[in-house]
């Protein structure tokens, strides 16, 4: 959690310096992400993130430089191997990874591997039709998938209470005939236990689960957002008192905290150096990974692009 917090702070600083074009901060949601990702069985499960799951990437051992390559705009989706990490490429389509997770879960059920999918989305994304379709499909086919909603209180600038009818994402699960529960998203142990139980249930044939982790986005929605325009400083102060890292620190020694800070600082230094050293890929790779076998139209476009570069 400390590594995620310090990497997140560094990413915001790098964006302000013009190194990263944009970034979606995760401050305040570390427990929800790390607790859930840590529950995965990396020999058979698979996670499907949004564009804000730095904590999940850290928990799954993804090289931060390879992950942050996405934010550096070097490579769409990062430079890590998803099959090794068991983490799909970050997905910036609102609600998009939920559909992918359900498709993967259907495949896992059909081939009998016994794995389960874990998919992330926010309270705002829960209003997308894609999410409802995914839950209905998963319920109808009894698929091994955990829908993990990080309810951070705000759908960008709209409070959850104004855009989630009924006030609960977890309660929607009943409409699809699947399990649903709320968990304290700032308690890393509670998140881990809830997610582990849901994954085990899915692997055992018990079907899908919706977990609504109640947390709070302490920072802006993105580095182009100004939360002071839609929420008060008093609200932020009160919610900061529930900071998941502050809570976790209460159960460990001062020596352990110091060790964690030292380790996090080393990771940040290495990551920053790696990002500064990273070079853009060859421009014609734009045409290299579109189709397994390039179409005539794509080859024509590639040829025209090369001619324009030589002109």
Active site residues: 217, 221, 230
Helices 30-37 and 188-203, packing angle to 10 deg: 40
The whole-angstrom separation of Cα 207 and Cα 191 is 19
Cβ contact 122:50 at 8 Å: yes
Cβ contact 8:163 at 8 Å: no
DSSP the chain: -HHHHHHHHHHHHHHHTTSSS-----TT-HHHHHHHHTT--TTT-EEE--S--HHHHHHTT--HHHHHHHHHTSSTT-SS-HHHHTBPPP--STTHHHHHHHHHHHHHHHHT----EEEEEETTGGGSHHHHHHHHHHHHHT--EEEEEEE-SEETTEEHHHHSTTS-SGGGGGGGT-EEEEEETT-HHHHHHHHHHHHHHHHTT---EEEEEE----S-SSTT--GGGTS-HHHHHHHHTT-HHHHHHTTS-HHHHHHHHHHHHHHHHHHHHHHHH--PPPGGGGGTTS-SS--HHHHHHHHHHHHHHH-
3-state secondary structure labels for all residues of 53-73: CHHHHHHCCCCHHHHHHHHHC
């Amino acid at each position: 959690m400390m590594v995620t917090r310090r990497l997140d702070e560094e990413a915001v600083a790098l964006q302000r310096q013009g190194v990263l074009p944009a970034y979606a901060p995760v401050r305040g949601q570390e427990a929800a992400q790390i607790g859930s990702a840590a529950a995965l069985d990396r020999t058979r499960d698979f996670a499907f993130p949004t564009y804000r799951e730095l904590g999940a990437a850290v928990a799954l051992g993804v090289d931060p430089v390879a992950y942050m390559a996405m934010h550096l705009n070097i490579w769409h989706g990062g430079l890590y191997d998803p099959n090794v990490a068991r983490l799909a490429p970050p997905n910036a389509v609102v609600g998009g990874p939920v559909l992918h997770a359900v498709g993967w879960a259907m495949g896992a059920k059909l081939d009998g591997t016994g794995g389960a999918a874990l998919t992330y989305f926010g309270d705002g994304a829960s209003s997308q039709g894609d999410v409802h379709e995914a839950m209905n499909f998963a319920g109808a086919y009894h698929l091994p998938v955990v829908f993990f909603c990080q309810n951070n209180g705000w759908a960008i600038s709209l409070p959850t209470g104004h855009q989630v009818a009924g006030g609960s994402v977890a309660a929607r699960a009943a409409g699809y005939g699947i399990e649903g529960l709320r968990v304290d998203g700032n308690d890393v142990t509670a998140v881990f236990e809830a997610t582990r139980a849901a994954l085990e249930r899915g692997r055992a044939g018990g079907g899908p689960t919706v977990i609504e982790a109640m947390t709070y986005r302490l920072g802006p929605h993105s580095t182009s957002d100004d939360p002071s325009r839609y929420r008060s400083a008093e609200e932020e102060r009160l919610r900061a008192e529930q900071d998941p890292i502050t809570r976790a620190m209460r159960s460990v020694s001062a020596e352990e905290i110091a060790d964690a800070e030292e380790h996090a600082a080393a990771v940040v230094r290495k990551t920053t150096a790696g990002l500064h050293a990273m070079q853009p890929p060859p421009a014609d790779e734009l045409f290299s990974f579109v189709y397994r076998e390039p179409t005539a139209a794509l080859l024509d476009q590639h040829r025209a692009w090369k001619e324009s570069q030589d002109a």
